[in-house]
Structure 1
């Protein structure tokens, strides 16, 4: 694949400026202010978006509310056809969407092509079929029939992050639309080019107001959106700190929420593991999407019997990772998504030394002079890490893995679970009983055995503890986008006789 920024701008038509999508139309923001979308690998400005505010949110929610009666009464066939058509269009221009994702986020094009886009397409395909599965139930009684209806909630506020924007958009709007809801979506203000171009293409098939998009800073858009009295459900993916505010905002109108938050997942390597395969998984967990993945197995627990061999192979593997231009198909590690994220990672690299950890590999910005304009970090391994260190407890969200050794399984499990997070985890062993035992003990929403990031369709994904609540990426999420209504039909004729006067 040969691509460059000017060719994509010319062939795909990246706009100089994007408006809000409200009621089926692209409109300017009430504030008149804009925000630059940057290429983190070069510092170039790609486009500008609206700096939205409460007035923009009000218009978007009104449009979603107006569209809800008709959309909620649409047939399963209509909703299925829409979601399949979205998937078809994504497939038809997969390479172009992948380039947009890479340009704005800094992830390697190989990941956009083979991970982000296929999984985003998969969400629309998965929930297209789900439109027919939203049935209630009946309960039979001698004197009555009980009917349980499942109904859409109404206007859903959805807030997505910057690390995998197309996939996050897909996993939010696909189930919401399948269930008959309408949406106001707030993408991240730093990375949303692919999402906006998605809606440019899909605007002609989306009924006006069914999906609305308002861009801007969280403080200006997020609070106004979540506290709006006509919003009936909130879905948020992002940091714990922001989630706390979202929960407080949603409490104003007693609005149900699903929250998918941070992680600090344990990746456990037992003495009998397939070392080479486990090293590959640890490498992938470190560098996939530059480590900007909430599921990352960033706490590596190595059994002391294989620790030395594993670490040498792990360091060699990371040393051979090809870091460079994210649009180069050979690149395996791209640029961190923003200046803010780069500075956060650098602060943790310094903190690790202060806390007494040892730099086993990496530990700094890239030394390649050709990458100096971008946000490039060396893939990093820290050893001699204590579980109470901040680098072992806090989400760094970069290509950084901390290592702890272990001998006793029970003691190791206590450390693995000694975290405020519980999103994912992994275990490597050839012992079937041990694999199941550890998987059951891990206080986390997903456990991968003998292959990390082994994501499969329709498997629920969500967290324990401060990693959030609710499940996405599976039909289970439809429970979060519908509510039930009980209808009881009396079959007995005449009076009860208890209150006969």
Structure 2
């Protein structure tokens, strides 16, 4: 029988308190205040971080600006070797970092080991190779040579969320480093233990100031960081509300942004689908990372002919899901990352019932041995959902799937596209023409056909509409971390003769 992983002592796994990482050193915060990092499965404190402020952001930006004078002129080989070493360090402590993700986020250890860590490592390896392929171009003219240089921006500010901290950290810093930028990273104040321990692990290989980490509440750090005159670009993953504020801060100095925001993805199941495979995918989309996934297929759109069979099989599947101690390799769904997130999810279930939806499975806080002290919610299916309801239009970010019934392809496409979001989506059909027609008409950045969450290295990930702009997980992002400079060299000697009498 599977047992929880043997946990190393706290001293071996992580520190009881972390400072800011600025200029290659761990330093205390200006305010002297700290924030507790908690284990959402039992509410116990794991560590403390600094409650940063504008003064801390200032120090970090200055350190990054100083480091850019040399890192901005580093060779592709130097950048490649650093990124490969970051991947090697993660591989050497995979169990440790997976456990840190689990302890601070509440995700099952099986997900941390088999998704979060491999995906994080893959980002560093992918962009290590890109360092040698960042080049400009030359254009030949009869009287001139045009040279297009590609150059790094300089200091970039990066703000990441709490749901997949290591993945988001690597997704941000790997392409920025490959392009020769320096970084000030602000992780989420609720879940960042793995990120801080990662930088403690790699501090000896990072040139001082090339990556700086400032922790704290967004209201205290975000504006000072993004509006700093030395910051040349901002990258953010998180909510639309925070993104709007960041865009306002960035407007002060007219700096570009890449934003990966929320989702309310349509997961369309046609009447000719492989029902059993689609049921498995819908169950996974409900429970993966406790539903705290921006690309989850939370609007499950079922053709009326297969609706009843599908829901019955989905409910039976969710009934078998093991919920409990996230460090147990047998656990399939853990605890919501915070009390605030748990309460938000439960409030949306209440809203759904007030709107006329009905709970088909789950619908409440999970209880029982090992669950009562944590932020556990039962995997939930809501039925009788209309696409206009709040639960179908707003991101719940928990293990809640809303089932919507449809009759014909035109109807389901209208509903799928009737959303302010457009991040991801899924489609199940055995008809090739139907698959192409529907997937091309869906207003979303990614569509998975006949396998949801079919993430492949190098495929762009990003949104339409209010799901943001820019594409990550692919080489396209390098265009967002570099500028082009045109140099035109004249080949004709002497004046043009414009002012001869």
TM range (shorter): over 0.9
User: In structure 1, what is the equivalent of residue 259 of structure 2?
Assistant: 259
User: In structure 1, what is the equivalent of residue 325 of structure 2?
Assistant: 325
Alignment of 1:448-467 (within 5 A): 448-467=448-467
Equivalent residue of 1:371, what SS?
A: coil
State the distance in 1 between where 2:358 and 2:443 align. Answer: 28
Counterpart contact for 2:264–2:395, Cα < 8 Å: yes
User: In structure 1, what is the equivalent of residue 359 of structure 2?
Assistant: 359
Q: Structure 1 pair 8/471, CA: closer, same or farther in 2 (3 Å)?
A: farther
User: In structure 1, what is the equivalent of residue 102 of structure 2?
Assistant: 102
Q: Could you give the per-residue CA deviations for residues 251-298 of structure 1, whole angstroms, max 9, x where no partner exists?
A: 000010000000000000001100000001101100000000000000
TM-score, scaled to structure 1:
0.99
1:11 aligns with 2:28: no
TM-fit CA distance, 1:114: 0.2
State the distance in 2 between where 1:500 and 1:99 align. Answer: 78
Segments of 5+ residues of structure 1 without an aligned counterpart are none
User: In structure 2, what is the equivalent of residue 75 of structure 1?
Assistant: 75
Segments of 5+ residues of structure 2 without an aligned counterpart are none
User: In structure 2, what is the equivalent of residue 85 of structure 1?
Assistant: 85
Q: Structure 1 pair 284/6, CA: closer, same or farther in 2 (3 Å)?
A: closer
Equivalent residue of 1:401, what SS?
A: strand
User: In structure 1, what is the equivalent of residue 432 of structure 2?
Assistant: 432
TM-fit CA distance, 1:69: 1.3
State the distance in 2 between where 1:5 and 1:337 align. Answer: 22
Counterpart contact for 1:64–1:155, Cα < 8 Å: yes
State the distance in 2 between where 1:365 and 1:49 align. Answer: 29
TM-fit CA distance, 1:11: 3.1
TM-score, scaled to structure 2:
0.99
Q: Structure 1 pair 158/415, CA: closer, same or farther in 2 (3 Å)?
A: same
User: In structure 2, what is the equivalent of residue 132 of structure 1?
Assistant: 132
TM-fit CA distance, 1:354: 0.3
Alignment of 1:231-250 (within 5 A): 231-250=231-250
Equivalent residue of 2:8, what SS?
A: helix
Q: Structure 1 pair 448/28, CA: closer, same or farther in 2 (3 Å)?
A: same
User: In structure 2, what is the equivalent of residue 290 of structure 1?
Assistant: 290
Equivalent residue of 1:336, what SS?
A: coil
1:495 aligns with 2:495: yes
User: In structure 1, what is the equivalent of residue 178 of structure 2?
Assistant: 178
Equivalent residue of 2:370, what SS?
A: helix
Equivalent residue of 2:116, what SS?
A: helix
Moved over 6 A (4+): none
1:341 aligns with 2:351: no
Equivalent residue of 1:49, what SS?
A: strand
1:412 aligns with 2:429: no
Equivalent residue of 1:205, what SS?
A: coil
State the distance in 1 between where 2:199 and 2:324 align. Answer: 30
TM-fit CA distance, 1:499: 2.8
Counterpart contact for 2:101–2:107, Cα < 8 Å: yes
User: In structure 2, what is the equivalent of residue 217 of structure 1?
Assistant: 217
State the distance in 1 between where 2:389 and 2:429 align. Answer: 27
Alignment of 1:370-449 (within 5 A): 370-449=370-449
Q: Could you give the per-residue CA deviations for residues 192-232 of structure 1, whole angstroms, max 9, x where no partner exists?
A: 00000000011000000000000000000011100111100
State the distance in 2 between where 1:499 and 1:198 align. Answer: 65
State the distance in 1 between where 2:176 and 2:204 align. Answer: 19
State the distance in 2 between where 1:367 and 1:27 align. Answer: 41
Counterpart contact for 2:187–2:215, Cα < 8 Å: yes
Equivalent residue of 1:208, what SS?
A: coil
TM-fit CA distance, 1:493: 1.8
Equivalent residue of 2:446, what SS?
A: coil
State the distance in 1 between where 2:234 and 2:38 align. Answer: 28
Equivalent residue of 2:205, what SS?
A: coil
TM-fit CA distance, 1:370: 2.7
State the distance in 2 between where 1:160 and 1:176 align. Answer: 14
State the distance in 1 between where 2:164 and 2:117 align. Answer: 10
Counterpart contact for 2:264–2:294, Cα < 8 Å: yes
State the distance in 1 between where 2:368 and 2:147 align. Answer: 66
TM-fit CA distance, 1:10: 4.1
User: In structure 1, what is the equivalent of residue 190 of structure 2?
Assistant: 190
TM-fit CA distance, 1:9: 1.4
State the distance in 2 between where 1:110 and 1:424 align. Answer: 24
TM-fit CA distance, 1:5: 7.8
State the distance in 2 between where 1:221 and 1:5 align. Answer: 37
Counterpart contact for 1:8–1:96, Cα < 8 Å: no
Counterpart contact for 2:22–2:213, Cα < 8 Å: yes
State the distance in 2 between where 1:121 and 1:53 align. Answer: 31
Q: Could you give the per-residue CA deviations for residues 168-215 of structure 1, whole angstroms, max 9, x where no partner exists?
A: 000000000000000000000000000000000110000000000000
Supply the RMSD in Å over aligned alpha carbons.
1.0
Q: Could you give the per-residue CA deviations for residues 444-475 of structure 1, whole angstroms, max 9, x where no partner exists?
A: 00000000000000111100000000011100
Q: How many residues were matched structurally?
A: 500
1:24 aligns with 2:24: yes
State the distance in 2 between where 1:498 and 1:279 align. Answer: 75
Counterpart contact for 2:5–2:328, Cα < 8 Å: no
State the distance in 2 between where 1:7 and 1:63 align. Answer: 34
Counterpart contact for 1:146–1:486, Cα < 8 Å: yes
TM-fit CA distance, 1:496: 1.2
